[in-house]
Amino acid sequence: MAEAEPLVRTPVEPPRPARASDSVVRHIKEMVLRGELRSGQRLPSEKELARQFGLSRVTIRDALRVLESEGFVRIRVGAGGGVFVSVPGPRHVTESLANLLRVNRASLRALAEARLLLEPEVAALAAQRARPKDLEAMHAAVEAARAGRQRGDPYFIPHSVGFHTALAEASGNPVLVAALASFRALFHEVLARLLPDDAMATRAVEDHQAILDAVRARDPERARSLMREHLLYFAERVQKLSRRRRVGSPW
């Protein structure tokens, strides 16, 4: 088996022990971002990485765990296992942004305002760019919510998430997909604590169907307007219920 190409090609200044793993994380991330390490490529063993960086295997192991948590590597165990380069997906971006918002204790008002600025434009883009599979995904979410209502199930959040996710995907903009997913995740954490609420469940199905109809008709102005009305209603409703039931931010 051919020896893996060294990751450290030129001498680097030895990092301070307290930040040694950070140096490894930064070095490997930069190589991934520059395209020097490709998705699916296998990294050298822990022992070899320790030799190349001049660090202990414990430090290398810590660095690999950080890289795995951030989506830059996948660690497989067993036969054919090892450490393989990966590329962070939308989930990692969404989780990072959502956690940042939690740490800064984003208010319901701030979350609603951010959604109001972005999602109507996403709906308009979807009306221009939606593919057949996007329309089908939105339709499936609406039908699942409608079926839930017929069974008397007021917990519509999974169907709402499915619809808004499909709508964002239809915009064709991965940055908006990740950003909106993080906003919705926090907004729905609060909303889940206010359910069941029959009026909101009924309104969600009606609004989503109307937005889908506008997207299917390739009418960006109507899609934008309907989404704005939808978000304003839910933001106002959640604020009122939060005050009435004294349900604050969950983070």
Same structural domain, 141 and 241? yes
Q: Which helix or strand (DSSP H or E) is residue 85 part of?
A: strand 82-85
Range of the domain at 75: 17-85
What confidence tens digit (pLDDT) does each residue in 56-113 have? Answer: 999 999 999 888 887 888 888 877 789 999 876 656 555 655 555 554 565 667 778 8
pTM over 0.85: no
What confidence tens digit (pLDDT) does each residue in 119-175 have? Answer: 999 999 999 999 999 999 999 999 999 998 888 776 777 888 899 999 999 999 988
Cα–chain center distance at 205: 23
Same structural domain, 96 and 113? yes
Number of Cβ atoms within 10 Å of the Cβ of 190? 19
Q: CATH no. for residue 162?
A: 1.20.120.530
Same structural domain, 110 and 164? yes
Token pair of 143, please? 């039908």
Same structural domain, 127 and 183? yes
* Length of the chain counted residue by residue: 251
Same structural domain, 64 and 95? no
